[in-house]
Structure 1
Amino acid sequence: MKKLIYKINQYLLENYPIIWNTKLVWVLSSTLILHILFFIFGFLAITNPKILHEYGAKSIFFENGTIFISIILSTLILVTWLIFLFKNNAFKSFYPTSRVKLFKQFLIYLIITFFSTTFYISYNFGVKSYISSKYDDERIEKEIIISNSASLFFSEKITDYTINQRRYPHPFNTLYCETISKGIHTDNDSLFLSFLDFKYRFYTLYKKKGTLDQGFKDSTYKGFVYHKTQDSVRTYFYKDSLFDISSFVQTNSPSYFNYSKIFYQSSDDKLAYDVIEYNYTNQLYEYEYEYDNYSYQQDFNENQELWNKQGYDLLKRNNSDEIKQILADFLMVSDTYEIRHNLTADEWFKMVYHPNDNFELKHLIRTAPKETIQFADTEPKTAIDTFYKNHITDYYLDNNALHYVFDNIKEIKASNPLQESIHFFIWFSFFFSSLIFMFRVTGLKALLFTVISSGILTVFVTLLTVLFSYITKFNDNNSGYFVSYLTLILGAIILSIPIFYSKKLKKLVVAICLNMSISGFILYVFLIITIISLHQSDACVGNYSFDFNNKDCFNLMGSLGVNWSYVLFIINLLFIYFYSGVIKNWKALPEG
């Protein structure tokens, strides 16, 4: 093995001295092996489906401590590499060099840093590969359909089954249900449906079309119940007249016929999500119940009519075998993902199947075991408390965990680890490589003085900005432009010194400006783009603004958005290439 390594080193030394000097082959070989290992670790990271039960399984790289292993390995690789790299500095030893050779060295530093720090990407590609191979789209869509069908019988929240949730059949889809407490006085107490602590009253609606803010600013539009928005037109809906719904209602008690939700809406669901936004400031009563698994809020949208119809039609068919099969299929899905529950299809079926009683809600199912729920045995204080206590069972089903499973699978399969993290890694690699390059070229003394000088300049600019703001009475517009142009002028001076005044100033002073130019040129370009964009936004909207994504105002920054990162990176590489000639000329200057 030693003979092979020796022969490879000799060959590289004779034919590719820069690659030999920078140890590129050995570092990339080591990191390649580690990238393969991290891919394997990622592939095996979510073999236990319980990991998918919590929100954000995509971030398992950070959650299970792999990030610390990655940081330690990256640090060891870079430190070891730098030890060998600094053993032989051809530039310092006055070996012949050129602009191209200097640029090649910088590129190699960049490549080595990038591959030594991007184990996160390999790990997450491993996670994505496992999820994509284990849970194909057809299987997941089938399981979502099964879960949505069974969600009708989850029996978790009382208010999912009360009459105010009903949206099918007609006329429920055209009415607005006002829900108030029995203890609150109203001007008209007629046409109420009652259930324990709540009273329900239905209204027909009429509508007005207006602009986005008329409902809140124009008095003729106030008092709306809810509004829908399409493009720039907002339609406001208002209570018209009371509607006697009693002839359409078989029972005032909670019933599975009233359920109008969907458990999981996938991206391929044909039921588009059209939100109806309620005017909560206009509600007579807003109630939030503190008991476990129970809450009340008005949250209808147009799709609920379609979701309600699916459950309604299933119950109307009254096919006991079909309902039992839906429950059995769902429990099979739950068992596949190791979802916590203590249900069987037969026991669950007995709790929900009551066709002679209009499929009323007679049993409530917990989302966790009774012993794990805080205040599970709290004494009832109201009629709804009593209803809950009388109907709650010891059965439980952690359906939230299954929802997270589908969320995590969808999110991981849709992710692109390279695209999501590439910007961080390329810029970290650039600035770290610049630091090594500056040390190799100018030495430790110049590098330390560069850090000190940068801090002094930052304090100087800050103090001048504060003084200017005080003089202009803290006008954000003027202060923003002042600090931008002051930094622009200082940057121009720093960039020009190594190019035009290298022979007129001390070599150390030029070295400091050289280092600032290497690390700060791209920030200088970004500053120019920002100033141009600020002027464009200022001319468009009439005030100083950092909102570069305004669709009504074109500006340079918003034209490319995050893609500016790639453009600036390429500009930076071109700058380093051409600036390498300036570095070479500086090195040739006499000392003192």
Structure 2
Amino acid sequence: MKSFIYKVNQYLIERYPTVWNTKLVWMLASAIILHLLFFVMGFFTISNPASLQERGINDIFFENGAVFMSVIITILMLVIWLVYLFKNNAFKNFYPTSRAGLFLAFLYHILIIFVSSSFYLSYNYGMKAQIALSYSDARIADEIALANEAAVFFSEKVSDYTLDKREYPEPFDQLFCETRDKLIDYNQPYTSFLDNNYQFFSIYKKEASKTPRYSEPQFTGYIYKKSLDSMDVYYFKDKLIDVSNLINNSLPSYYNYSSTLYISKNDSLNQEDLDYDYDNYSDFGYDHSPQASIRGKLQNKRSHELLRRNNPSEIKQLLSQFLSMSSAYKIKHNLAVDQWFELVYHPTNFEVKSFIRDQKKPDYYYEDDRALLAEKDVNRFLKERLTDYYFESKRLRNVFENIETIKASNPFMDGIHVFMWLAFFLSALIFMFRITGLKSLLFAIVTVGVLILVIALLAILLAYASSGNDNLIGYFISYFAVLLGATIFAIPLFFARSVKKSVVAICLNISIAGFVPYLLLILALIAMHQKDLCEARSFKNDYYNCPTIFDYLEFNWSFVLFFTGLALMYFYTTIIKRWKSLPES
């Protein structure tokens, strides 16, 4: 092994001295092995379906200790690498070095730091591979559909089965159910269930031109508003409709179920977002039920048709398939098909006569009868019919969410920016140390700290003098920083021979590290002007209709700045070589 390493090093030092000097080959080889290790770790992290039951599984890297292992390995690798790297410094010892050699060394530093710190990416790709191999898109789509169909029988909450949730058949799909007591006309037909009252109205609508987001609506008193591509549609209550002849009673019924257990991220249904009139109805209470939901209507229709067929075998088969799927994901429950069927099958009107818990009943559970009597009627109705059966539906929802989140994730794009810029600035720091030495680097750091302190003090003084005019302060600080940065950049470029070499070295270090932040500052200044100009011209002064230069590329600006920084670094190598040739002063 030693002989092999020696031969490789000899080959590199003779033909690729920069590669040998930066230890690129050995660092890449070590990093690849460690990336494979983290990939395998990520792959087996979620091999047990039970691990998918907690929300945010895509953040498990930061929760199960893998991040600490990654940080420790990264630090050890970089420390060992730096020890060998600093043994040889051709530039500092005046060994002939070309511009390309300097720039390649900087690139190799970036590459080494990137591969030595980005184990998060491999870990997440391992998780993504596990999900792709274990859960096909077709399987997940079928299981989500199965779960949503069986969810009608979950019997967890009274509110899922009350009359106001009915949206099928006609005319319920065209009606609005008023549930706020202060808005119900008790002199007109209405129906009640315990302390809940329901009154149905037909709906009429008004169309209006689209208004900017968060601006004042064009109408008041509407029940909800739909924002379409080119217009806003406002819906209002119209005539009262007597539905007493359309329902058997107002008790909770499976016929009323219109909720959806889980909405797939791949669901092609164009769900409309509804905006409610909060202001005009704030004194009467606000009902968050998603009436007029397209998805709710379709779900209610499917549930209604299933119940209307009244086929015990079909219902049992549905429950059986659902429980088998749940067991495969290790969802905790104590239901059996026959027991569950007996709880829900009441074919007269499919009333909800028993309720199922969403988690296991505590071993030591005590219900005070006096406290039960003090409960609201609906809560008492639930508790009097609450069984010891349970099914942890939230965990099943989390499973679907986690699987689809990981499938849709792009670990490279999610994490590339952090590791890319970490590698860039650490490489710049190492590059500065190797070029100018520790003394100049420390003086550069101190100088930047002093300049930041001066700018902060100026901002405080200006805030006091201008009575806290944030806009004025922002522009002053930005332009002052731009001028200050231009001065620092100009010294190595134009005044290197007329200024002490040590001062030029400090400015050189600040320039190397400050290329990208300076460009970002200029972009921010442009964005400030764009926003202010747009708001000055906007009648509504609506921020959301004022795009800036950052909105055109969004996160892609990160790549633009990164490669611009590399390009500037390449051209700056000429300045570095010129500085090195200056006589010591």
> TM-score band, normalised by the shorter chain?
over 0.9
- 2:303 matched to which residue of 1? 311
Deviation at 1:226, TM superposition (A): 1.6
Q: In the aligned structure 1, how far is the partner of 2:503 from the partner of 2:214? A: 62
Q: Say which SS state the counterpart of residue 542 (structure 1) adopts.
A: helix
Show the 5 A alignment for 1:310-329. Answer: 310-329=302-321
Matched, 1:368 2:359: yes
* Matching of residues 64-79 of structure 1 within 5 Å: 64-79=64-79
- Could you tell me how far apart the structure 2 residues matched to 1:127 and 1:31 are? 19
Matched-pair contact (CA < 8 Å) for 2:183–2:284: no
Q: Using the alignment, how far apart are the partners of 1:394 and 1:196 within structure 2?
A: 24
Report if aligned partners of 1:380, 1:389 keep a CA contact under 8 Å in 2: no
Which deviates the most, 186-195 or 444-453? 186-195
2:525 to 508, 531, 542: 531
Letter in 1 for 2:507: C
Match of 1:236 among 203, 215, 234: 234
Q: State the TM-score, normalized to the length of structure 1.
A: 0.93
1:586 and 2:579 correspond: yes
Deviation at 1:56, TM superposition (A): 0.5
Q: How has the CA–CA distance of structure 1 residues 375 and 269 changed in structure 2, closer, same or farther, with 3 Å as cutoff?
A: farther
Q: Name the aligned partner's letter for residue 530 of structure 2.
A: Q
Structure 2 CA distance, aligned partners of 1:266 and 1:446? 57
What residue number does 2:331 align with? Answer: 339
Instruction: Give the SS at the match of 1:73.
Output: helix
Contact 2:208 2:218 in 1 (8 A): no
Deviations 1:71-99 (A, max 9, x none): 00000000000011111111222211121
Residue 509 (structure 2) aligns with: 515
Cα distance in 2 for partners of 1:364, 1:445 equals 74
| Cα distance, 1:218 vs structure 2 | 8.2
Structure 1 counterpart of 2:84, one-letter code: F
TM-fit CA distance, 1:215 = 13
Q: 1:213-224, aligned counterparts within 5 Å? A: 221-224=219-222
Do the aligned residues in 1 keep the contact of 2:212 with 2:545 (CA within 8 Å)?
Answer: no
Q: Secondary structure at the match of 1:355?
A: coil
Counterpart-to-counterpart distance in 2, 1:124 and 1:118: 11
1:44 aligns with 44
CA distance in 2, matches of 1:34, 1:247: 71
Alignment of 1:108-257 (within 5 A): 108-180=108-180, 188-211=186-209, 221-257=219-255
* 1:465 and 2:459 correspond: yes
Aligned to 1:571: 564
Give me the whole-angstrom Cα distance separating, in 1, the residues matched to 2:169 and 2:189. Answer: 20
Change (3 A) 1:482 1:423: same
Residue 292 of structure 1 corresponds to none
Distance 1:580 1:214 in 2: 50
Which SS does the other structure have where 2:333 is aligned? coil
Could you list the per-position Cα deviations for residues 98-131 of structure 1 after superposition, in whole angstroms to 9, with x for gaps in the alignment? 2111111111111100110000001100000010
CA distance in 1, matches of 2:383, 2:500: 85
Distance 2:216 2:509 in 1: 60
- Give the unaligned 5+ runs of structure 2: none
Q: What is the letter of the counterpart of residue 57 of structure 1? A: I
**SS of aligned partner of 2:186:** coil
CA contact (8 A) 1:548 1:557 kept: no
Deviation at 1:186, TM superposition (A): 5.9
Compared CA separation, residues 582 and 258, structure 1 to 2 (3 A): same
Check 1:146–1:220 CA distance in 2 against 1; reply closer, same or farther (3 A cut).
closer
- Tell me the secondary structure at the aligned position of residue 176 of structure 1: strand
Q: Distance in 2 between matches of 1:556 and 1:399?
A: 45
Displacement, 1:473?
3.0
Matched residue SS, 2:463: helix
Q: Distance in 2 between matches of 1:498 and 1:214?
A: 50
Residue 510 of structure 1: SS of its match in structure 2? helix
1:231 is displaced (CA, Å) by: 2.6
- Runs of 4 or more, structure 1, over 4 Å off, are 184-187, 211-220, 372-378, 547-553
AA paired with 1:495?
A: F
1:291: which partner in 2? none
| 118-127 or 468-477, which deviates more | 468-477
TM superposition shift of 1:147: 0.6
**Which TM-score applies when normalising by structure 2?**
0.94
Q: Please state if 1:63 is matched with 2:63.
A: yes
Instruction: Give 1:384-403 correspondences, 5 Å limit.
Output: 384-403=378-397
Map 1:17-32 → 2, pairs under 5 A: 17-32=17-32
Q: Residues 214 and 496 of structure 1: is their aligned pair in 2 closer, same or farther, counting only changes over 3 Å?
A: closer
Q: Give me the whole-angstrom Cα distance separating, in 2, the residues matched to 1:214 and 1:107.
A: 47
| Amino acid aligned to 2:430 | I
For structure 1, list consecutive stretches of 5 or more residues without a partner in the other structure: 288-295
Structure 1 pair 495/216, CA: closer, same or farther in 2 (3 Å)?
A: closer
Q: Does the aligned pair in 2 maintain the 1:380–1:386 contact within 8 Å?
A: yes
Question: Does the CA contact (< 8 Å) of 1:494 and 1:513 recur in 2?
Answer: yes
How far has the Cα of 1:477 moved from its partner?
Answer: 2.2
- TM-fit CA distance, 1:185: 9.5
Q: Aligned ranges for residues 419-568 of structure 1 at < 5 Å?
A: 419-542=413-536, 553=547, 555-568=548-561
Decide whether the 8 Å contact of 2:110 with 2:423 is kept in 1: yes
Any conservation in 1 of the 2:516–2:561 contact (CA below 8 Å)? Answer: yes
Query: Structure 1 residues 376, 496: closer, same or farther in 2, change over 3 A?
Result: farther
Work out the CA distance in 2 between the residues paired with 1:59 and 1:556.
Answer: 32
Post-superposition offset of 1:210: 2.8
Q: State how far apart, in whole Å, the 1-side matches of 2:219 and 2:48 are.
A: 55
* Partner in structure 1 of residue 257 of structure 2: 259
CA contact (8 A) 2:258 2:296 kept: yes
- The whole-number CA distance in structure 1 between the counterparts of 2:507 and 2:551 is 31
Contact kept, 8 Å, 1:276 with 1:302, in 2: the verdict is: no
Identify the range of structure 1 (208-217 vs 343-352) with the bigger mean alpha-carbon deviation: 208-217
Shift of 1:405: 0.4
CA distance in structure 2 between the partners assigned to 1:35 and 1:199 by the alignment: 62
Q: Percent identity?
A: 47
Any residues of structure 2 matched to 1:75-94 within 5 Å, and which?
75-94=75-94
